[in-house]
Chains A and B, each alone.
Chain A
Amino acid sequence: MRRELAGYFATPVAYVFIVIFLLLVNALTFFMGHFFERGQADLASFFQFHAWVYMLLIPAISMRMWAEERKSGTIELLMTLPLSLMQVVLGKYLAAVVFAAIALALTFPIWITVNYLGEPDNGVILAGYLGSLLMSAGFLAVGTFVSALTKNQVIAFVLTAAVCFVLIASGAPIVLSFFSDWAPREVVDFIASLSFLAHFSAISKGVLDIRDVVYFVSLIGVFLFANAVAVERLKAE
């Protein structure tokens, strides 16, 4: 994992990613979220864009995780290491999560800003950061799985972004109305409950509910498992 993490910072990609992430999130907060004009000492206008920024940027981190190894053939080398399959999958994944966490942590000036401007509820802000991290971890799990399916990084990027979009939008009224005409209520409710946004906004209000946490953790588990299966299939081929 450490090797993977060091790998991120060895290339300019990591810095480009972090710079773009910070620029995008903060610019959206101030210009589209009207952070200052709202006059409220909270980070609602900051967190509201995270899902969308992640949808755009997370696939960029995750696309190369397996696709590159497959293309360059280093995957065979990786498999010869004295590590179990799960260890390799987890190692790669955790490195990506830590990287995303570092990027997220670098948004700390907005936290200082809001504490300078007023007296925010720092418990809510902490919850927001936790939720955001869980959400990025969820997207990364999706991305690393998709990356294991293809040799082509571009395909991995586009596919991941598409799946992330579905996961974000599944709670949106447009999607729900598509199902609500024919599917039973329970199914519609379940589809709605798949939405990253719904779970994230519940957490970012300041409440860490077991349902929201389990949702993210179990989603990550499923995708990592699928990831391991996909890699295993590669080996079999």
Chain B
Amino acid sequence: MINALLNRKGGWIAGIAIAIAVFVALNVGLSGVTGLRVDLTQDRLFTLSDGTEKILQRIEEPVSLDLYISQRLVEEVALYGLYATRVRDMVNEFAAVSDGMVTVTEHDPAPFSETEDTAVSAGVQGVPIDTGGERVYFGLVARAGDRVETVPFFQPTREAFLEYDLARLIEGLTRQRKPVIGIVTDLPMFGGFDPRSQEQRWMLIDGIEESFEVRNIFDIEADLNEEIDVLFMAHATRLKDEQLYAIDQFLMRGGRALLMVDPYSEIAALNTLSGRPIARDSTLNRLLEKWGVSIEEKMVVSDITLARMVNAGTAENIRPAPYLLWPSFRADNINADDAVTRDITTVNMGTPGSIAVADDAAVKVETLLETTERSQLFDSEMINPREPNILEFIEKFQADDKKYTTAVRISGEVDSAFPDGKPKPEPEPEAATPDEGQPGDAASDEAKPDEANPDGAAPAETATPATPPAEPEAAEGEPERPHVARSQQPLNIVLIADADMLETRFWATEQEFFGQRVLEPFANNGDLVINALENLTGSGDLITLRSRGTAQRPFTRVEALRIAANEQYRAREQALATRLQETQQKFDEAQQKASAESQGGAAAPVLTAEQKTALETELETLRTDLLAIRKELRDVQLKLREDIEALDTTLRFANIVLVPALVGVFAIILGIARIRRRAAANA
């Protein structure tokens, strides 16, 4: 058929025209097809996770993403160049999956251009690249309707969380209202309950209010409703069965929660004097045990490697010692793969408890924070609340060779802890007996928070009235909700076995700055809480996103060489540097002497001719020494790089010369063999 066409006059022109038409049609037709492909990368870098895809497919309002990438940054800093490609690919992938709801525009903000001004006004951060004052940009502005979210600067260190960050940004942008956090606490987080007391609202609450609407929940049964996105329980003590039931049902209906349960609250221990006693320990084991998780009551974790240094002496006689019950979690003890703990470098806790997970636990539990093996559990009775007996713990310490977990993420589907439905109300509070028999501060049992809370002490933004007549309202307004026996949606809970870490003194210093309170954090406790809340307020899809692989793959062998060389030569380098400094100092002194002498000022000591020559020779030797040491130092620094350079040379040789040479030799041998064969054949 083809031949017939081609043999006709002018047929070949038609043939070629058809071929080109098919080519164009095929390629243009396919240009809109996305997703038909094989991702060959090891970590599936180009395949978005299901969670992200679901978030993107839910978008109802168009989202425009403006990516600001300075070409200069990309060209001059290789690390950022590589990451810029990664960010660009990821953003384009978002657009491809979103069915046209996400559009991407890339800009190169040239210095002093209009684009630069737009970028800066939208909150993209300029970073100076040289001393000339030119700034480079690598940020993103996302817009949906009149809402704007910005990534001021993409940090390559966050690469593993790039997908999570972008998905979170888009989800936040398409959300119509601020998520609501319902806080249940016995701690004076919202300021002192006693108007005479000087206690101020905790800085953490201010931080939370930047991104969330905060409600202080006093009446769990009435106020823990659908409007609450995340329940934040921070050392809520002496919970009655009905209250536990309300919490249980909230969680069964798919509620998320940040639960902070403390076997020994230091604030409570200190607070007994201030007129509003708080129970020292809190527990939710009644709920947790049903899932297979528990926090051992009244037992606190100690760790000798993580312990913070404190003053075990007096103010006059300072005696630094590690306080075993105050662990400071770092690097290896923080889960770097979870979005909650991802950027966290330090978490300081005060007398935390230990979270145990049963072998047959119904939920999935992931560790967020854990101690080292050099740790041990202590009975909280041992703690002296008035004067910390720091040294006693060191004396009694005996490592269990076991890691204790102090923070976890819990997910999964579970049965209600109240299989028989709502428990019968307990007798009136006046007649109630302390349910767990707490010694000492039994008076606090009956002190219902809402009764102790005077008008005006409640934060301004709290939606609930300060003293709500909750009981009748609940009875009239809301009909009894049906009992939920099994979770309607999987649980999403972050459980932390400490509440003291919320208190500002554990993680930041507060400064007065022209009448404003300014925080200078020295640990990431606040970030941890806000990360957890942000993560929990996200959709389930967002929560499932975990850290991803990275496109950064350094030459590990070169790194190893560098470290080895450093170790080998560093000591020598340091010794030389010290010697150099000493000699330099001597030299300067001698020179000063000499110059004072030459000026012959009245103050200058008069030297004899012999002394003068001696000084000059000394100066001369010192100068030679100085030069010699400098040279030696340079040599050492050179040696540091030598091994790496040798490797570079070998590899260059092997790649550029060796194989072509082998091919050449092979060709020559083959050629000679052929000539011989031919000669033999001719003969």
B27 touches A41 (CB 8 A): no
**In the complex, chain A residues whose CB is within 8 Å of the CB of B24:** 190
Classify the interface of chain B: helix, strand, loop or mixed. helix
Q: Give residues of chain B (16-67) contacting chain A, Cβ–Cβ below 8 Å.
A: 16, 19-20, 22-24, 26-28, 30-31, 33, 36-43, 45-46
**In the complex, chain B residues whose CB is within 8 Å of the CB of A193:** 27, 31
A233 touches B667 (CB 8 A): no
B654 touches A109 (CB 8 A): yes
**In the complex, chain A residues whose CB is within 8 Å of the CB of B46:** 205-207
B575 within 8 A of A: no
Q: A207-B46, A229-B12 are in contact. Are A30 and B89 (CB under 8 A)?
A: no
Whole-angstrom distance between the Cβ of A21 and the nearest chain B Cβ: 9
B660 touches A22 (CB 8 A): yes
**In the complex, chain A residues whose CB is within 8 Å of the CB of B3:** 85, 232
CA distance A122 to B40 in the complex (A): 9
Q: A117-B557, A225-B16 are in contact. Are A19 and B660 (CB under 8 A)?
A: yes
B37 touches A222 (CB 8 A): no
**In the complex, chain B residues whose CB is within 8 Å of the CB of A190:** 24, 27-28
Interface string of B654-666 (1 = CB under 8 A from A): 1110111001101
Interface string of B86-109 (1 = CB under 8 A from A): 000100000000000000000000
A40 touches B82 (CB 8 A): yes
**In the complex, chain B residues whose CB is within 8 Å of the CB of A208:** 37-38, 40
**In the complex, chain B residues whose CB is within 8 Å of the CB of A221:** 19, 23
Which residue of chain B lies nearest to A194 when distances are taken between CB atoms in the complex? B27
Q: Which of B23, B558, B659 contacts A22 (CB 8 A)?
A: B659
**In the complex, chain B residues whose CB is within 8 Å of the CB of A189:** 31
Which residue of chain B lies nearest to A127 when distances are taken between CB atoms in the complex? B40
Which residue of chain A lies nearest to B37 when distances are taken between CB atoms in the complex? A209
A123 within 8 A of B: yes
Q: Give residues of chain A (75-123) contacting chain B, Cβ–Cβ below 8 Å.
A: 85, 106-107, 109-110, 113, 116-123
Q: A110-B655, A205-B89, A206-B39 are in contact. Are A40 and B553 (CB under 8 A)?
A: yes
Q: A209-B37, A232-B12, A233-B12 are in contact. Are A113 and B663 (CB under 8 A)?
A: no
Q: Give residues of chain A (200-229) contacting chain B, Cβ–Cβ below 8 Å.
A: 205-211, 214-215, 218-219, 221-222, 225-226, 229
A109 touches B655 (CB 8 A): yes
B552 within 8 A of A: yes
Whole-angstrom distance between the Cβ of A122 and the nearest chain B Cβ: 7
Classify the interface of chain A: helix, strand, loop or mixed. helix
A39 touches B554 (CB 8 A): yes
Q: Which of B41, B663, B671 contacts A123 (CB 8 A)?
A: B41
B78 within 8 A of A: yes
B555 within 8 A of A: yes
Whole-angstrom distance between the Cβ of B47 and the nearest chain A Cβ: 9
Residues of A within 8 Å of B, CB-based: how many?
57
**In the complex, chain A residues whose CB is within 8 Å of the CB of B195:** none
CA distance A85 to B552 in the complex (A): 50
Which residue of chain A lies nearest to B30 when distances are taken between CB atoms in the complex? A211
Q: Which of B15, B38, B553 contacts A229 (CB 8 A)?
A: B15
**In the complex, chain A residues whose CB is within 8 Å of the CB of B30:** 210-211, 214
A40 touches B652 (CB 8 A): no
B384 within 8 A of A: no
Q: Give residues of chain B (581-605) contacting chain A, Cβ–Cβ below 8 Å.
A: none
Interface string of B67-86 (1 = CB under 8 A from A): 00000000000100010010
A218 touches B652 (CB 8 A): no
A27 within 8 A of B: yes
Q: A109-B658, A205-B89 are in contact. Are A210 and B663 (CB under 8 A)?
A: no
B37 touches A210 (CB 8 A): yes
Whole-angstrom distance between the Cβ of B321 and the nearest chain A Cβ: 43
Whole-angstrom distance between the Cβ of B7 and the nearest chain A Cβ: 8
A222 touches B38 (CB 8 A): no
**In the complex, chain B residues whose CB is within 8 Å of the CB of A226:** 16, 19
B648 within 8 A of A: yes
A30 touches B652 (CB 8 A): yes
B39 touches A120 (CB 8 A): no
A113 touches B12 (CB 8 A): no
Q: Which of B16, B26, B42, B656 contacts A214 (CB 8 A)?
A: B26
CA distance A210 to B35 in the complex (A): 9
A29 within 8 A of B: yes
**In the complex, chain B residues whose CB is within 8 Å of the CB of A38:** 78
Whole-angstrom distance between the Cβ of B206 and the nearest chain A Cβ: 43
Q: Give residues of chain A (108-143) contacting chain B, Cβ–Cβ below 8 Å.
A: 109-110, 113, 116-124, 126-127
CA distance A205 to B88 in the complex (A): 13
B651 within 8 A of A: yes
A26 within 8 A of B: yes
**In the complex, chain A residues whose CB is within 8 Å of the CB of B15:** 225, 229
Q: Point out which of A123, A126, A215 has the most chain B C-beta atoms below 10 A from its C-beta.
A: A123
CA distance A151 to B82 in the complex (A): 47
Interface string of B669-680 (1 = CB under 8 A from A): 001000000000
B6 within 8 A of A: yes
**In the complex, chain B residues whose CB is within 8 Å of the CB of A42:** 553
A1 within 8 A of B: no
**In the complex, chain A residues whose CB is within 8 Å of the CB of B664:** 15, 19
CA distance A221 to B33 in the complex (A): 21
B555 touches A109 (CB 8 A): no
Q: Give residues of chain A (2-55) contacting chain B, Cβ–Cβ below 8 Å.
A: 12, 14-15, 18-19, 22-23, 26-27, 29-30, 36, 38-42
Q: Which of A40, A107, A124 contacts B552 (CB 8 A)?
A: A40
Whole-angstrom distance between the Cβ of A163 and the nearest chain B Cβ: 14
CA distance A123 to B551 in the complex (A): 12
B658 touches A124 (CB 8 A): no
Which residue of chain A lies nearest to B43 when distances are taken between CB atoms in the complex? A121
B42 touches A40 (CB 8 A): no
A232 touches B663 (CB 8 A): no
**In the complex, chain A residues whose CB is within 8 Å of the CB of B658:** 109
B655 touches A113 (CB 8 A): yes
A selection of 16 A-B contacts at a CB cut-off of 8 Å is A15-B664, A22-B656, A23-B656, A26-B655, A26-B656, A30-B655, A39-B558, A106-B663, A113-B651, A113-B654, A116-B557, A117-B557, A118-B554, A123-B40, A190-B28, A225-B15
The 7 closest A-B pairs by CB, nearest first: A15-B667, A123-B40, A206-B41, A41-B553, A209-B37, A210-B36, A117-B555
Please give the residue numbers on chain A whose beta carbons come within 8 Å of chain B beta carbons, in ascending order: 12, 14-15, 18-19, 22-23, 26-27, 29-30, 36, 38-42, 85, 106-107, 109-110, 113, 116-124, 126-127, 186, 189-190, 193, 205-211, 214-215, 218-219, 221-222, 225-226, 229, 232-233, 236
Q: A19-B667, A41-B553, A233-B12 given. 15 additional CB < 8 A pairs?
A: A14-B667, A18-B660, A30-B655, A36-B652, A41-B556, A85-B3, A118-B556, A118-B557, A123-B41, A124-B42, A127-B41, A190-B28, A193-B31, A214-B27, A226-B16
Please give the residue numbers on chain B whose beta carbons come within 8 Å of chain A beta carbons, in ascending order: 3, 6-7, 12, 15-16, 19-20, 22-24, 26-28, 30-31, 33, 36-43, 45-46, 78, 82, 85, 89, 552-558, 648, 651-652, 654-656, 658-660, 663-664, 666-667, 671
